[in-house]
Structure 1
Amino acid sequence: MRTAYDVETIRAAERALMARLPDGALMQRAAAGLAASCADLLGKVYGKRVALLTGSGDNGGDALYAGARLARRGAGVTALLLSPERTHAGGLAALRAAGGTVLDAESDAESEAGSDAAERAVARADLVLDGIVGIGGKGGLRPRAARLASLAAESGCRVVAVDLPSGVDADTGEVHGDAVRADATVTFGAYKPGLLVDPAHEYAGALRLVDIGLESASPRPELEALQHDDVAALLPRPTGESDKYQRGVVGVVAGSARYPGAAVLATAGALHGGAGAVRYVGPAADSVLARFPETLVSAGPPSKAGRVQAWVIGPGLGDDAAGLSDVLASDVPVLIDADGLRLADVEAVRGRTAPTVLTPHAGEAAALLGCDRARVEAERLASVRELAARYGATVLLKGSTTLVASPDGDGAPVRVNPTGTPWLATAGSGDVLSGLTGSLLAAGLRPVDAASVGAYVHGLAARHASRSAPVSAQDVAAAIRSAWHTITTT
């Protein structure tokens, strides 16, 4: 499992480790890992041009020491000092001793010739190392740093961020103003939440974690991302004694005369997600049976449909709220999606004794929170936590980085889903996810596990179906089986 810790926790761990190490040893560990990563990206170091965007903090020191190592291997290294009077003295001396060049980028900005020298160093570089701001930085880049970072992006060279891209918020993943867009980020000791959550995640590029010997002082991370082994351990497996009820029966209340396809897709997700049986309640029974004759259909109401271990309600319902109160009154887990989110009352959700899972996209989350969509997309981590606390429910916030948060008081870290593809942004894919997650709830997984595993399998299925080409929701549902097989056999 990949875990991420907040800035204060990481700093506390660094202080504890530095107290046991010789002065400067921790920075040298970080610089060694950083230089090795840069060398890997360059392929051949000798003769390559490297520009260091160097700020005043320890990230600037890391960049300078790493630059010195690259210079000793034959690279032409130029440090552009953005805070000359506060540059890390030891790192600067090491770079000069290794034959590196130093430019005062701030003073140069005041003269046309000097400015050309700094900008030329960036434009001609094979690799630019971002050591402008450390993990405690807040807000966007200052104009001079933003200009050089923009030139690096335009030049087509490799841009590597030290610990995290400068200008992004390490704890929240928010981006306020200009920030470095990196091709890769080399982070030290532990992942920071901002590296895993959009919009900052989009700026980070490929992630590489360098072990510098930190031991976390916190029993719980802020964020965690499941990986294959974690998901494989959670996926339900029938035994020789299992029957359809032991495997889980999921009820689906979805679809309408206008949107019968939503019922079909939610049922597809449930059936491919391992449910022992699916009970469908709604007006799209003919469409569902035509595609999936094994489905058990009922005219309703949901409470009269028969035994279920979980309900999925909402996809394609339109304005028909007739079954919602019936489902919310049940004593089994309920997943609410799409139109169900618009029709559900917060007090009715909070008053449930059985677990509830909400699966909004950013627009639906904004409506639930009473804010605009832009705020949700800019503050994804804060938004998913707020929704979970307000509704007393597990919330799966769909998007470029899907997040899962437990209700306030659960104590679990927020989970971020690492699978998926941009091609998954297609009509009906959320209906498939709802059915899949509902089947996992019916199998007995905890809500946070059902939502996390559902998102993981769904995203991996999309990758299998797409293979870098357009994909439909039906394709994603059909690929759940191959994704499941990959997870449980590798």
Structure 2
Amino acid sequence: MQKLYLDTRKLDASCRAAYGLSEEIMMENAAMALENAVRNPYPLSGDRRQPQKILILCGSGNNGADGYTLSRKLRFDYDVSIIRFAEPKSQLCKIQAERAEKCGVRFVDREDLSFYDLRFTDIIVDCVFGIGFHGELDEKTAATLGDMNNCECFKIACDVPTGLREDGTIAEGAFIADLTITMGALKTCLYSDFAKDFVGEVRCAELGVNRRLYENSNNSNLVKGMLLEESDLELPHRTVCNVNKGSFGHVAIASGEKQGAAAISGSAALRFGAGLVTLVHKNASKKGLDIFPELMVSSEIPEKTTAIAFGMGLGRKGDPCQQYFDYILEHANIKCVIDADACYAPGLKSFLEKKEKGVVLTPHPKEFQALIKNCDLGDFSLEDCIVNRMDFVESFCRKFPKKTLILKGANPVIGHFDGHKFKMFINPFGRPCLAKAGSGDVLSGLVAALLAQRRKTLDAAITASLAHALASRKIKCDFSMTPYDLMMAVAEL
């Protein structure tokens, strides 16, 4: 896991104070990281030729100063041009611009950009605005960045792509990077759902000291959350031989109006290690509910159930969730997954207040909007719930301690408050093939399987979310995946 920060400017200041570094030394290291990315680029346009022509876009502050510094380092090895978006204002920006000019770097006004400048550019480096950007891009800047985005070349952003705001939202006309070199430490804005199409790959650059020293230079609790890594995945491998199916728990999946959703969830639970899975439906004895040969069916919750998942295709007529709320409260050792229609259930708030622990909720943004309203946390628009998702996840978890929340999205957010400390995790591995009916049902089944196998709720949420996302990366076609393709990919992890 890697630490995430809302803003690293306090870390910059504390790092300089703690280790005797100057702002200029840190800038030279930032430019060196950009230089390495230019000198060791990805294959360009399908071939492996080395880049020749570099355009560096410079703003008026220290982000622009990084660009001027970079130009000086690349001078003579490459055809380097500076596109100045504004006259230097910060002291370091003025100094670095003067140095670049003395080194003979070519300066080009935006109005004088030629067809040659754009058509034959190999790499564009965006150093216009950094982490402090807010508001909107002016029309001229947005238009120029649009021209850059249309260039068929490799694009690098310094710290954050220009137009990416601190809250993770995107201004119109923002720069679209293939690679973002972020300075010092990782920023939360880079992992918003909005940012995913703009940041490309994210790498963290060290600024003169080891990254751990940089992050430890400030004793204040500046960490906003943690970024999950592939190494955090802990699959439910079976290491003991003298076992039976009961050793791995019994998952009950509530089946209702849309039985396919429950079947998908149940199949996923079985494929992720649960020993037994039963679909529970009041009409289980009727023909048509036995078409899933690997799953058992019953009109009652099995006596030895260890985890229940409900809400997936269950429906909302007649309050179908209440029987599951009541049953789980009567059987304190049973853990549960709450999804989809259950987020709208009238009795949900009361249930969460009474159920001490053992609950994982897995809403998508629209369901999350209903969930926080249903739990008296406010009536917000869907856009508010997406823009402020990290704060809303924290508010929900603090109101309902020891419950774990997975808010699905392009970069899912996982939250948990144990009564003393709030923890938040972001999963960056999902792919757009997951944007299809049934994918969320698979996730619910994966979580239920781990709960049935006696995993703690937070551990189950992290592992299930990672398995779900990493499996999606094994799908070759970005549009043809089915939920069962995703389940099979889980088995390849």
- Where do residues 31-50 of structure 1 align in structure 2 (5 Å cutoff)? 31-41=31-41, 48-50=52-54
Would you say the 8 A contact 2:156–2:179 is kept in 1?
A: yes
1:274-313, aligned counterparts within 5 Å? 274-283=273-282, 285=284, 289-293=290-294, 295-300=295-300, 302=301, 305-313=302-310
In the other structure, the counterpart of 2:2 is 2
Q: What is the aligned partner in structure 2 of residue 411 from structure 1?
A: 421
2:127 is matched with 131
Cα pair distance change 1:222/1:383, threshold 3 Å = same
2:367 corresponding residue in structure 1: 364
Report the residue type matching 2:398 in the other structure.
A
Moved more, 140-149 or 60-69: 140-149
How far 1:37 sits from its partner (Å)?
0.3
Q: Which has the higher helix share?
A: 1
**Structure 1 letter corresponding to 2:227:** A
Query: One-letter code of the match for 2:440?
Result: G
Question: 2:384 — aligned with what?
Answer: 375
Over the residues paired in the alignment, what is the CA RMSD in angstroms? 2.8
The structural deviation recorded for 1:124 is: 5.6
Amino acid aligned to 2:350: E
AA partner of residue 67 (structure 2)? A
Question: Does the 8 Å CA contact 2:60/2:87 hold for their aligned counterparts?
Answer: yes
The 10-residue stretch of structure 1 (184-193 or 77-86) with the greater mean CA deviation from structure 2? 77-86
Match of 1:387 among 377, 396, 407: 396
User: Which of residues 86, 98, 107 is equivalent to 2:103?
Assistant: 98
Aligned counterpart, 1:486: none
- Equivalent residue letter for 2:389: R
Aligned counterparts of 1:446 and 1:466: Cα–Cα separation in 2: 33
Corresponding residue of 2:487? 477
Is 2:148 the counterpart of 1:152?
A: yes
Q: TM-score, normalised by structure 2?
A: 0.85
Shift in Å, 1:476: 1.4
Task: Give the distance between the partners of 1:375 and 1:423, measured in 2 at CA.
Answer: 25
In structure 2, do the counterparts of structure 1 residues 249 and 47 end up closer, same or farther at CA, with 3 Å as the change threshold? closer
1:443 maps to a residue whose letter is Q
**Secondary structure of the corresponding residue to residue 204 of structure 2:** strand
Indicate if the aligned counterparts of 2:394 and 2:422 stay in contact, CA closer than 8 A: no
Deviation track 1:320-345 (CA, whole Å, cap 9, x = no partner) reads 33523224414232210111111152
Matched, 1:140 2:139: no
Please say which of residues 21-30 and 264-273 is displaced more in the overlay.
21-30
Alpha-carbon distance, 1:287 to partner: 5.3
**Which one-letter code corresponds to 2:426 in the other structure?**
V
- Partner residue in 2 for 1:61: 65
**Residue 401, structure 1, aligned to residue 411, structure 2:** yes
Contact persistence 2:142–2:172 (CA under 8 A)? no
Change (3 A) 1:135 1:312: same
Larger mean Cα displacement after TM superposition, 368-377 or 397-406: 368-377
In structure 2, the gaps of 5 or more residues are: 373-378
TM-score (norm 1): 0.86
SS in 2 for 1:368: helix
Please list every run of 5 or more consecutive structure 1 residues that lacks an aligned counterpart in the other structure: 106-114, 484-490
* 1:26 counterpart letter in structure 2: M
**Residue in structure 1 matched with residue 247 of structure 2 by the alignment:** 246
Could you say what secondary structure the match of 1:474 adopts?
A: helix
Letter in 1 for 2:275: G
Moved more, 456-465 or 29-38: 456-465
| Deviation of the 1:39 alpha carbon | 2.4
Inter-partner Cα distance in structure 1 for 2:273 and 2:175: 43
Determine if contact 1:46/1:74 at 8 Å carries over to the other structure. no
**Cα distance in 2 between the residues matched to 1:28 and 1:12:** 16
CA distance in 2, matches of 1:47, 1:336: 52
Rate the CA distance shift 1:466–1:120 in 2: closer, same or farther, 3 A: closer
> Mean Cα displacement is larger for which, 283-292 or 195-204?
283-292
- Structure 1 pair 222/85, CA: closer, same or farther in 2 (3 Å)? closer
Distance 1:103 1:318 in 2: 61
8 Å contact kept, 2:236–2:272: no
Q: Distance in 2 between matches of 1:480 and 1:400?
A: 19
**Secondary structure of 2:308's match?**
strand
Match of 2:225 in 1: 223
Residues 238/309 of structure 1: CA separation in 2 closer, same or farther (3 Å cut):
farther
Q: CA deviation at 1:247?
A: 2.2
Deviations 1:426-470 (A, max 9, x none): 111111110111111122222222112111111222333444451
2:180 match: 185
Which letter maps to 1:250? V
SS, match of residue 90 in structure 1: helix
Q: Which residue of structure 2 aligns with residue 487 of structure 1?
A: none
Instruction: Provide, for residues 151-206 of structure 1, a one-character-per-residue CA deviation record: whole Å limited to 9, x for no partner.
Output: 11123333211011122234x32335542221211112221111122212321112
Q: Using the alignment, how far apart are the partners of 2:242 and 2:51 within structure 1?
A: 67
Going from structure 1 to structure 2, the CA distance change for 1:278 and 1:411 (only over 3 Å counts) comes to same
* CA distance in 1 between partners of 2:90 and 2:22 (Å): 23
Given residue 462 of structure 1, which amino acid in structure 2 is its aligned partner?
S
Give the C-alpha shift of residue 100 in structure 1: 0.7
2-structure distance, mates of 1:367, 1:82: 45
The 8 Å contact of residues 81 and 108 in structure 2, kept in 1 or not, is answered as no
TM-superposition CA deviations, 1:184-238 (whole Å, max 9, x none): 1111222111112221232111222223324213677323233232213x64534
Structure 1 residue 314 displacement after superposition: 1.0
Distance 2:16 2:137 in 1: 27
